[in-house]
């Protein structure tokens, strides 16, 4: 009886892990499709697609799935969903300004889900333009610290357009204009410095 119970427990744990893995894969594949649709199928000329592919590979998404996602997104293969990016503005607890960027294939559902999530967590929606002026879109690259010093990272990216390097404890954060993101990422690669992520994110204008 105990053997059966152990097998049932193991089977349940595996099902939970598989479900989480499937959800992660779906998210990564969706990001690849959208990146290919908005910036083209060539990762060398599309930094968003390049990084979406790298993240998928790090999470062990099969190459054939990645290739198919790129083709669907670029319109070279049928089956891609019509995703769009929508921005919502709001206030969190204590009046903290919040920008919410959603990737969805259903605008009405996304609006409803965001509104419910904000309300449940003590926040509220705001009119367009109410808080967006408090943020700038910047290139943000996260570099694992390891044996690196701040000077090592700064020296590699300064001429590529980096504006600042912040020490976050276990990692360094490299900030640049969003248009310089590819140059900063390339400079790190040429210097032999690995990075965890490279994205165009909204950064608050005031800390």
Q: pLDDT tens, 133-187? A: 999 999 999 999 999 999 999 999 999 999 999 999 999 999 999 889 989 999 9
Give burial (CB, 10 Å; 0-12/13-18/19+) of 97. Answer: middle
Both tokens of 27, joined, read 């998210």
pLDDT given for residue 127 in this prediction = 94
* Superfamily of segment(s) 84-130: YebC, transcriptional regulation domain (3.30.70.980)
pTM: 0.70
Both tokens of 122, joined, read 């003590």
At 81, the pLDDT band (50, 70, 90 cuts) reads low
At 4, the pLDDT band (50, 70, 90 cuts) reads low
State in words which class domain 2-73 has.
Answer: mainly alpha
CATH assignment of 135-204, among 3.30.70.980, 3.30.365.10, 3.30.1280.10, 3.30.1060.10:
3.30.70.980
φ/ψ of residue 164, rounded to 5: -160, 155
Pairwise CA distance, residues 182 & 139, whole Å: 9
The H-assigned helical ranges of the chain are: 2-39, 47-58, 63-73, 107-120, 150-157, 181-190
């Amino acid at each position: 009886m105990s053997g059966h119970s152990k097998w049932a427990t193991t089977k349940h744990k595996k099902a939970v892990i598989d479900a989480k893995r499937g959800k992660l894969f779906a998210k990564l594949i969706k990001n690849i499709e959208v990146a290919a649709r908005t910036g083209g199928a060539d990762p060398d000329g599309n930094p968003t697609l390049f990084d979406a592919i790298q993240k998928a590979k790090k999470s062990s998404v099969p190459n054939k799935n990645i290739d198919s996602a790129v083709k669907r997104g670029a319109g070279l293969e049928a089956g891609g969903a019509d995703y769009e990016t929508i921005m919502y503005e709001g206030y969190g607890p204590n009046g903290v300004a919040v920008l919410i960027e959603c990737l969805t294939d259903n605008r009405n559902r996304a609006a409803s889900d965001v509104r419910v999530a904000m309300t449940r967590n003590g926040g509220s929606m705001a009119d367009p333009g109410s808080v967006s002026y408090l943020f700038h879109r910047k290139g943000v690259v996260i570099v694992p610290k390891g044996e690196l010093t701040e000077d090592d990272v700064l020296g590699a990216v300064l001429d590529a357009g980096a504006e600042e390097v912040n020490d976050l404890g276990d990692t360094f954060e490299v900030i640049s204009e969003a248009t310089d993101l590819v140059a900063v990422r390339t400079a790190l690669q040429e210097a032999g410095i690995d990075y965890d992520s490279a994205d165009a994110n909204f950064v608050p204008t005031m800390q």
